[in-house]
A and B are shown apart, each in its own frame.
Chain A
Amino acid sequence: MTLPDRINAAVRAVPSWVLYALAPLPAAWWFYLGFTGGLGVEPISALEHKVGLFALQLLIAGLAVTPLRRFAGVNLIRHRRAIGVVAFFYVLLHLLIWLVLDMSLLWSQIAADLVKRWYIIVGMASFVLLIPLAVTSNNWSVRKLGSTWRTLHKLVYGACLLGGLHFVILSKGFQLEPMVYMAIIVGLLGLRLVPKRRPMMARA
C-alpha cells in the first residue's frame, strides 16, 4: 500500500463525530489556561489570538482538501464538512471573545471599529461570508440546493482570503508569520487554477 492509500484507509476508519467531539477541546484548554495564569499576564488578547489563529488554520485545512486529493492522492473529503463547521465555530468564538472580553461590550466603540477599522471590517466580512455556508452545511441543504450548493460554498475562498488579510493588516511592523499564512491561502487557491489534463475520473 502506498502512503496516500494508507492515509486514506486510516481517514476512512475515523467517524466524523470524532472530529466534532474533539473540536471543543483546544478552546476549553485555552480558557482553562486563561483562568489559571497559563496564558501570561494579559490572557484576553492571548486567548483572542490563539482562537483566531486556530480558526484560520482550520479554514486553511478545509481549503487544502481538494488540492491534497488532486495532487497527492490523499482523500480527506469525508471530513471536509466537519473541518468547515468547526472552523466556523472558532471564527464565531474569536468574534465573541473580541466583543465580550476584549471590547467589554462597549457598543459605541465596537460600532466605530466596525465602520472605521479596516482589519475589523475585513475580519467581519470573512465571518459574514461563512454564515450561509454554516447554515447550509447539512444533507437537506445539499439535496435542496443541488448545483447551487457547490457554487455557494465557493464563498469560502473569499472568506479565507479575507481571514488571511485580517491577520496581515492587524500586525505591526513587517512580520513574517501573517505573510506566510497569506501565501499558503493564495497558493491553495492558485492550485485550483491548474488546468486539468482530462476530465477527472472517479478515483474511488
Chain B
Amino acid sequence: LADLGAKPSQFSTDATPNTFEEITTYNNFYEFGTGKSDPAEYADALTIDPWTVKIDGMVDKPGDYSFDDIMSGVELEERIYRFRCVEAWSMVVPWVGFELADLLDRVGVQPGAKYVAFETLYRPEEMWAQKRPILEWPYREGLRLDEAMNPLTILSTGLYDEPMPKQNGAPLRLVVPWKYGFKSIKSIVRISLVEDMPPTSWNMANASEYGFYSNVNPQVDHPRWTQASERQVGGGLFAKRIPTLMFNGYEDEVAGMYAGMDLSKFY
C-alpha cells in the first residue's frame, strides 16, 4: 500500500495508538452487519472507485465532486485522536485527513447555512445489511456549522498512513473526536449545508438515547448504560475500565462552543 505521507499535527494526542489490527477488526458499520467483526468480513464488496460526493444546499459551488476533486491540493495530516464509542469502549486512532473547514471554505458556505448534513452511500447490493431495517437507510449525520468548522473536525481518508480500509469508512469519512463515534459518519456521498438542524440516523431511531449533539460526557449517561467509564480496546481479558473524560479529553478545544447550554438537555 502506498504511504500517504501525512504530516504530523499539533492536535495529535501522545497516547499510544491501537494496532492496525485492532482498529480494522473491531468496527461498528451497520451497513455490513451489526457484529463487530462483520465490517472486516463483508466490506470488501464495497466499490470505492469511482467515488462521488454531492455537495449541495447553501454553498456557492454546489456539484458532484469526484474523490480526486476533493483531494486536489489537499495537504494530509496525521491526527492521532482518542475515539470513544457510545457503547463505552474506546481506541486511539492515527487518522489521516484534512480539516472539514478546508473543504467547506473551498465550496463557499453561504451566510444562511447553520448546519452541515452528511449521508453515507446507499447501495444494498454491496452493503448487504441495508436490506435489513436495522436503521432507516441511508445513514445520516449532522453537525452545527461551528462544530464543522472546528479545527479538530476532519475528513479522514486513511489511517496508519495508508488509504482508509473499507471497514473503517473508505474512501472518505468524518472524524469528530469529542463526540461519540457514531457521529463520525463513514463512506460519505453527500454533504449539504442547511439552515435547520438535519435529521440524524440514531436520533431518528431512538431520540431519548441518541441526541443530535452526542458530545462525550461522563456526567450524562446513556439511558441503558453508564458513560462514566470506558474500556480501551486491546487490553485483553483483564483490561480495567478507565474514567471517561469530558468531551473525550478535548474540553479545552471545544467547550467554548457549548457555553451556556444545558448539556444534559442537549445531549
Partner of A176, one of B22, B132, B237: B132
Any chain A CB within 8 A of the CB of B226? yes
Any chain A CB within 8 A of the CB of B113? no
CB distance from A42 to the nearest CB of B (A): 5
Dominant SS among interface residues on chain A: helix
Interface size in chain A (residues, C-beta < 8 A): 31
Across the interface, which residues of A come within 8 angstroms of B226, CB to CB? 109, 112-113
Q: Are A173 and B224 in contact (CB under 8 A)?
A: no
Would you list which residues of chain A between 102 and 132 have a CB under 8 Å from chain B? 102-104, 106, 109, 112-113, 116-119
Residue in chain B with minimal CB distance to A109: B226
Given known A35-B237, A40-B37, contact A173–B22 (CB-CB < 8 A): no
CB distance from A138 to the nearest CB of B (A): 34
Any chain B CB within 8 A of the CB of A2? no
Chain A binder among B171-179, B238-246, B249-257: B238-246
- Which residue among A34, A42, A103, A169 has the maximum number of chain B CB atoms within 10 Å of its CB? A42
Across the interface, which residues of A come within 8 angstroms of B133, CB to CB? 174
Given known A34-B237, A101-B237, contact A106–B229 (CB-CB < 8 A): yes
Would you list which residues of chain B between 193 and 218 have a CB under 8 Å from chain A? 205
- Which residue among A34, A47, A172 has the maximum number of chain B CB atoms within 10 Å of its CB? A172
CB distance from A133 to the nearest CB of B (A): 28
Would you list which residues of chain B between 1 and 49 have a CB under 8 Å from chain A? 18-19, 21-22, 25-26, 30, 34, 36-37
Across the interface, which residues of A come within 8 angstroms of B87, CB to CB? 172
CB distance from A161 to the nearest CB of B (A): 19
CA–CA, A93 to B22, complex, Å? 27
CB distance from A35 to the nearest CB of B (A): 6
Any chain B CB within 8 A of the CB of A175? yes
Across the interface, which residues of A come within 8 angstroms of B36, CB to CB? 40, 42, 46
Given known A34-B237, A109-B228, contact A174–B134 (CB-CB < 8 A): yes
Across the interface, which residues of A come within 8 angstroms of B134, CB to CB? 173-175
Given known A40-B25, A41-B26, contact A172–B237 (CB-CB < 8 A): no
Q: Are A40 and B26 in contact (CB under 8 A)?
A: yes
Any chain B CB within 8 A of the CB of A67? no
Across the interface, which residues of A come within 8 angstroms of B221, CB to CB? 116
Given known A173-B34, A174-B135, contact A43–B89 (CB-CB < 8 A): no
What is the interface of chain B, defined by CB distance below 8 A to chain A? Answer: 18-19, 21-22, 25-26, 30, 34, 36-37, 87, 89, 132-135, 205, 221, 223-226, 228-229, 231, 233-234, 236-241
Q: Which 9 A-B pairs have the closest CB atoms?
A: A41-B22, A173-B134, A104-B241, A104-B240, A34-B237, A41-B26, A42-B233, A43-B237, A109-B226
Given A43-B236, A106-B229, A174-B135, 14 other A-B contacts at CB below 8 A?
A: A40-B26, A41-B18, A43-B237, A44-B239, A101-B237, A102-B231, A104-B240, A104-B241, A109-B226, A116-B221, A119-B224, A173-B30, A173-B134, A174-B205
